[in-house]
Amino acid sequence: MIVHVFESKDQVAKAAGAIFAAQILKKPDSILGLATGSTPIETYAELVKMYKAGILDFSKAKTFNLDEYVGLPASHPESYISFMRRNLFDHINLKEYHLPNGLAKDLEQECRDYENTIKQAGGIDLQLLGIGNNGHIGFNEPNDHFVYSTNRVKLAESTIKANRRFFDSEDQVPREALSMGIGTIMQAKSILMICLGEGKAEVVEKMINGPVDPKVPASILRTHHHVTVLLDQAAASKL
Protein backbone atom coordinates (compact mmCIF):
# COMPACT_ATOMS: atom_id res chain seq x y z
CA MET A 1 0.00 0.00 0.00
CA ILE A 2 1.54 3.31 -1.08
CA VAL A 3 0.30 6.32 0.91
CA HIS A 4 0.74 9.91 -0.28
CA VAL A 5 -0.24 12.89 1.89
CA PHE A 6 -0.99 16.21 0.20
CA GLU A 7 -1.49 19.64 1.71
CA SER A 8 -4.87 20.25 0.13
CA LYS A 9 -7.79 18.34 -1.31
CA ASP A 10 -7.19 20.11 -4.63
CA GLN A 11 -3.79 18.49 -4.86
CA VAL A 12 -5.36 15.11 -4.02
CA ALA A 13 -7.85 15.55 -6.88
CA LYS A 14 -5.07 16.49 -9.30
CA ALA A 15 -2.98 13.48 -8.27
CA ALA A 16 -6.01 11.15 -8.58
CA GLY A 17 -6.82 12.66 -11.97
CA ALA A 18 -3.23 12.01 -13.06
CA ILE A 19 -3.44 8.33 -12.02
CA PHE A 20 -6.69 7.89 -13.98
CA ALA A 21 -5.24 9.77 -16.95
CA ALA A 22 -2.16 7.52 -17.00
CA GLN A 23 -4.41 4.43 -16.93
CA ILE A 24 -6.56 5.64 -19.84
CA LEU A 25 -3.56 6.79 -21.87
CA LYS A 26 -1.74 3.48 -21.51
CA LYS A 27 -4.90 1.39 -22.04
CA PRO A 28 -7.66 3.33 -23.83
CA ASP A 29 -10.08 0.39 -23.42
CA SER A 30 -9.57 0.29 -19.66
CA ILE A 31 -12.26 -1.08 -17.37
CA LEU A 32 -12.64 1.55 -14.67
CA GLY A 33 -14.31 1.05 -11.30
CA LEU A 34 -15.99 4.23 -10.05
CA ALA A 35 -17.21 5.52 -6.71
CA THR A 36 -19.74 8.06 -5.44
CA GLY A 37 -19.82 10.29 -2.36
CA SER A 38 -18.44 13.79 -1.88
CA THR A 39 -14.81 12.58 -2.00
CA PRO A 40 -14.38 11.90 -5.75
CA ILE A 41 -16.27 14.97 -7.03
CA GLU A 42 -13.12 17.08 -7.63
CA THR A 43 -11.33 14.11 -9.18
CA TYR A 44 -14.18 13.72 -11.67
CA ALA A 45 -13.93 17.48 -12.38
CA GLU A 46 -10.23 16.95 -13.21
CA LEU A 47 -11.13 14.15 -15.64
CA VAL A 48 -13.75 16.36 -17.30
CA LYS A 49 -11.15 19.14 -17.60
CA MET A 50 -8.66 16.77 -19.26
CA TYR A 51 -11.35 15.47 -21.61
CA LYS A 52 -12.37 19.01 -22.60
CA ALA A 53 -8.71 19.94 -23.13
CA GLY A 54 -8.42 17.05 -25.62
CA ILE A 55 -6.04 15.04 -23.41
CA LEU A 56 -8.33 12.13 -22.53
CA ASP A 57 -10.60 10.04 -24.73
CA PHE A 58 -13.11 7.81 -22.89
CA SER A 59 -14.75 6.35 -25.99
CA LYS A 60 -13.15 2.92 -25.64
CA ALA A 61 -13.31 2.70 -21.83
CA LYS A 62 -16.05 0.98 -19.83
CA THR A 63 -16.98 1.78 -16.25
CA PHE A 64 -18.57 -0.12 -13.37
CA ASN A 65 -19.77 1.71 -10.27
CA LEU A 66 -19.35 0.19 -6.85
CA ASP A 67 -22.94 0.45 -5.74
CA GLU A 68 -26.47 1.80 -6.01
CA TYR A 69 -29.30 2.32 -3.53
CA VAL A 70 -32.22 -0.12 -3.58
CA GLY A 71 -35.54 1.47 -4.46
CA LEU A 72 -34.51 4.94 -5.68
CA PRO A 73 -35.61 5.67 -9.24
CA ALA A 74 -32.81 6.68 -11.63
CA SER A 75 -34.46 10.10 -11.89
CA HIS A 76 -34.00 10.76 -8.15
CA PRO A 77 -31.19 13.34 -7.73
CA GLU A 78 -29.54 11.22 -5.02
CA SER A 79 -29.50 7.95 -6.96
CA TYR A 80 -25.92 7.08 -7.77
CA ILE A 81 -26.71 6.99 -11.49
CA SER A 82 -27.89 10.63 -11.23
CA PHE A 83 -24.75 11.52 -9.30
CA MET A 84 -22.53 9.94 -11.94
CA ARG A 85 -24.34 11.64 -14.82
CA ARG A 86 -24.13 15.02 -13.09
CA ASN A 87 -20.49 14.77 -12.10
CA LEU A 88 -18.95 12.78 -14.94
CA PHE A 89 -20.94 10.88 -17.57
CA ASP A 90 -22.80 13.89 -19.04
CA HIS A 91 -19.52 15.73 -19.63
CA ILE A 92 -17.26 13.14 -21.30
CA ASN A 93 -17.48 10.81 -24.32
CA LEU A 94 -17.86 7.55 -22.37
CA LYS A 95 -20.09 5.12 -24.28
CA GLU A 96 -20.58 2.26 -21.83
CA TYR A 97 -21.18 2.48 -18.11
CA HIS A 98 -22.74 0.15 -15.58
CA LEU A 99 -24.26 0.49 -12.13
CA PRO A 100 -26.21 -2.20 -10.30
CA ASN A 101 -29.95 -1.72 -10.82
CA GLY A 102 -31.51 -1.11 -7.42
CA LEU A 103 -34.98 -1.36 -8.95
CA ALA A 104 -34.51 -4.84 -10.42
CA LYS A 105 -37.40 -7.24 -9.69
CA ASP A 106 -35.00 -9.93 -8.55
CA LEU A 107 -32.23 -8.14 -6.65
CA GLU A 108 -30.23 -11.30 -5.93
CA GLN A 109 -30.20 -12.16 -9.65
CA GLU A 110 -29.18 -8.57 -10.41
CA CYS A 111 -26.16 -9.01 -8.09
CA ARG A 112 -25.11 -12.21 -9.88
CA ASP A 113 -25.58 -10.56 -13.29
CA TYR A 114 -23.51 -7.53 -12.25
CA GLU A 115 -20.66 -9.71 -11.05
CA ASN A 116 -20.76 -11.70 -14.33
CA THR A 117 -20.80 -8.57 -16.48
CA ILE A 118 -17.63 -7.36 -14.74
CA LYS A 119 -15.98 -10.76 -15.32
CA GLN A 120 -17.04 -10.84 -18.98
CA ALA A 121 -15.58 -7.37 -19.50
CA GLY A 122 -12.23 -8.78 -18.32
CA GLY A 123 -12.20 -7.46 -14.74
CA ILE A 124 -11.48 -4.00 -13.41
CA ASP A 125 -8.14 -2.37 -14.26
CA LEU A 126 -8.35 0.57 -11.85
CA GLN A 127 -10.88 0.84 -9.02
CA LEU A 128 -11.52 4.17 -7.33
CA LEU A 129 -12.62 4.04 -3.67
CA GLY A 130 -13.65 6.41 -0.92
CA ILE A 131 -14.12 5.26 2.66
CA GLY A 132 -17.15 5.43 4.96
CA ASN A 133 -16.69 6.81 8.49
CA ASN A 134 -17.09 3.24 9.75
CA GLY A 135 -14.50 1.83 7.32
CA HIS A 136 -16.91 0.64 4.65
CA ILE A 137 -15.85 0.45 1.01
CA GLY A 138 -18.61 0.48 -1.60
CA PHE A 139 -21.42 -0.36 0.81
CA ASN A 140 -19.61 -3.26 2.47
CA GLU A 141 -20.45 -2.46 6.06
CA PRO A 142 -18.51 -3.68 9.13
CA ASN A 143 -19.28 -7.36 9.50
CA ASP A 144 -17.95 -10.52 11.14
CA HIS A 145 -16.69 -11.76 7.76
CA PHE A 146 -15.71 -10.28 4.39
CA VAL A 147 -18.53 -10.64 1.84
CA TYR A 148 -17.11 -11.93 -1.44
CA SER A 149 -19.23 -10.87 -4.42
CA THR A 150 -21.79 -8.25 -5.41
CA ASN A 151 -24.51 -8.40 -2.78
CA ARG A 152 -27.62 -6.85 -1.29
CA VAL A 153 -26.64 -4.85 1.78
CA LYS A 154 -28.53 -3.43 4.75
CA LEU A 155 -26.98 -0.05 5.48
CA ALA A 156 -25.51 0.47 8.95
CA GLU A 157 -27.27 2.97 11.22
CA SER A 158 -24.14 5.20 11.08
CA THR A 159 -24.22 5.16 7.25
CA ILE A 160 -27.92 6.12 7.21
CA LYS A 161 -27.06 9.03 9.54
CA ALA A 162 -24.04 10.05 7.42
CA ASN A 163 -26.13 10.01 4.23
CA ARG A 164 -28.99 11.93 5.85
CA ARG A 165 -27.39 15.19 4.62
CA PHE A 166 -28.31 14.36 1.02
CA PHE A 167 -32.03 13.82 1.74
CA ASP A 168 -34.85 15.97 3.14
CA SER A 169 -35.32 13.71 6.15
CA GLU A 170 -33.81 10.56 7.65
CA ASP A 171 -36.93 8.59 6.61
CA GLN A 172 -36.06 9.18 2.98
CA VAL A 173 -32.55 7.69 3.19
CA PRO A 174 -32.66 4.25 1.55
CA ARG A 175 -32.04 1.38 3.98
CA GLU A 176 -30.57 -1.00 1.43
CA ALA A 177 -28.14 -0.98 -1.46
CA LEU A 178 -26.54 -3.31 -3.99
CA SER A 179 -22.77 -3.25 -3.71
CA MET A 180 -19.76 -4.91 -5.27
CA GLY A 181 -18.37 -7.30 -2.67
CA ILE A 182 -14.98 -7.12 -1.03
CA GLY A 183 -13.85 -9.92 -3.37
CA THR A 184 -15.06 -7.98 -6.43
CA ILE A 185 -13.04 -4.96 -5.27
CA MET A 186 -9.97 -7.02 -4.37
CA GLN A 187 -9.91 -8.56 -7.86
CA ALA A 188 -9.25 -5.13 -9.41
CA LYS A 189 -5.75 -5.00 -10.88
CA SER A 190 -5.06 -1.71 -9.12
CA ILE A 191 -6.92 0.36 -6.54
CA LEU A 192 -6.89 4.08 -5.87
CA MET A 193 -8.37 5.19 -2.57
CA ILE A 194 -9.03 8.83 -1.67
CA CYS A 195 -9.75 9.98 1.88
CA LEU A 196 -10.37 13.63 2.72
CA GLY A 197 -11.02 15.64 5.86
CA GLU A 198 -10.63 15.29 9.59
CA GLY A 199 -13.78 13.19 9.88
CA LYS A 200 -11.94 10.32 8.15
CA ALA A 201 -8.70 10.60 10.19
CA GLU A 202 -9.64 7.95 12.76
CA VAL A 203 -10.78 5.32 10.28
CA VAL A 204 -7.78 6.00 8.02
CA GLU A 205 -5.50 5.32 11.00
CA LYS A 206 -7.33 2.02 11.69
CA MET A 207 -7.19 1.01 8.02
CA ILE A 208 -3.44 1.61 7.82
CA ASN A 209 -2.20 0.59 11.29
CA GLY A 210 -4.88 -1.67 12.74
CA PRO A 211 -5.43 -5.39 12.16
CA VAL A 212 -6.96 -6.68 8.91
CA ASP A 213 -10.48 -7.07 10.26
CA PRO A 214 -13.95 -7.28 8.64
CA LYS A 215 -15.09 -4.82 11.32
CA VAL A 216 -13.02 -2.25 9.36
CA PRO A 217 -13.69 -3.53 5.82
CA ALA A 218 -11.13 -1.19 4.18
CA SER A 219 -8.32 -2.84 6.18
CA ILE A 220 -8.38 -5.76 3.68
CA LEU A 221 -6.82 -3.40 1.12
CA ARG A 222 -3.47 -3.83 2.89
CA THR A 223 -3.34 -7.35 1.44
CA HIS A 224 -3.79 -6.15 -2.17
CA HIS A 225 -0.62 -5.89 -4.25
CA HIS A 226 -1.33 -2.54 -5.91
CA VAL A 227 -3.13 0.05 -3.78
CA THR A 228 -2.42 3.78 -3.78
CA VAL A 229 -3.97 5.87 -1.00
CA LEU A 230 -4.18 9.65 -1.44
CA LEU A 231 -4.87 11.68 1.70
CA ASP A 232 -5.13 15.36 2.51
CA GLN A 233 -3.39 16.49 5.68
CA ALA A 234 -6.61 16.45 7.69
CA ALA A 235 -7.33 12.80 6.84
CA ALA A 236 -3.70 11.92 7.66
CA SER A 237 -3.72 13.79 10.99
CA LYS A 238 -3.94 10.65 13.18
CA LEU A 239 -1.18 8.70 11.40
Q: Is the dihedral of CA 102, 107, 113, 118 positive or negative?
A: positive
> Which among 29-37, 107-115, 211-219, 231-239 is the span making contact with ligand GLP, rule CB under 6 A?
29-37
The C-alpha atoms of residue 196 and residue 60 are separated, in whole angstroms, by 30
DSSP state of 133: T
CB atoms inside a 10 Å sphere around CB 22: 11
Residue 57: alpha-carbon gap to chain centroid: 21
Q: Which of 1, 127, 146, 4 is nearest to 64 (CA)?
A: 127
> Which among 22-30, 126-134, 183-191, 207-215 is the span making contact with ligand GLP, rule CB under 6 A?
126-134
Q: Does the footprint of ligand GLP cover residue 132 (CB under 6 A)?
A: yes
Q: Does the footprint of ligand GLP cover residue 139 (CB under 6 A)?
A: yes
Q: Does the footprint of ligand GLP cover residue 36 (CB under 6 A)?
A: yes
> Which among 21-29, 70-78, 82-90, 124-132 is the span making contact with ligand GLP, rule CB under 6 A?
124-132
The distance of closest approach from Cβ of residue 143 to ligand GLP in the complex, given in angstroms and rounded to an integer, is 15
Q: Which residue of the set 68, 136, 151, 232 is catalytic? A: 136
Query: Residue 219 corresponds to which amino acid?
Result: S
For the question of residue 224 being annotated catalytic, the response is no
> Which among 26-34, 95-103, 125-133, 180-188 is the span making contact with ligand GLP, rule CB under 6 A?
125-133
Structural contact between residues 141 and 217, judged by C-beta atoms closer than 8 angstroms = yes
Smaller CB separation from ligand GLP, 44 or 51: 44
Which residues partner with 195 through β-bridges?
A: 231
Q: Does the footprint of ligand GLP cover residue 127 (CB under 6 A)?
A: no
Q: Does the footprint of ligand GLP cover residue 153 (CB under 6 A)?
A: no
| Region 45-84 residues binding ligand GLP, contact defined as CB under 6 A | 66-67
The C-alpha atoms of residue 44 and residue 5 are separated, in whole angstroms, by 19
Task: Rounding to the nearest 10 degrees, give the CA dihedral for residues 184, 188, 192, 198.
Answer: 20
For the question of residue 93 being annotated catalytic, the response is no
The C-alpha atoms of residue 213 and residue 221 are separated, in whole angstroms, by 11
The distance of closest approach from Cβ of residue 36 to ligand GLP in the complex, given in angstroms and rounded to an integer, is 5
Give the footprint of ligand GLP on this chain (CB under 6 A): 35-39, 66-67, 130-132, 138-139, 159
The residues annotated with a catalytic role in the active site are 67, 134, 136, 141
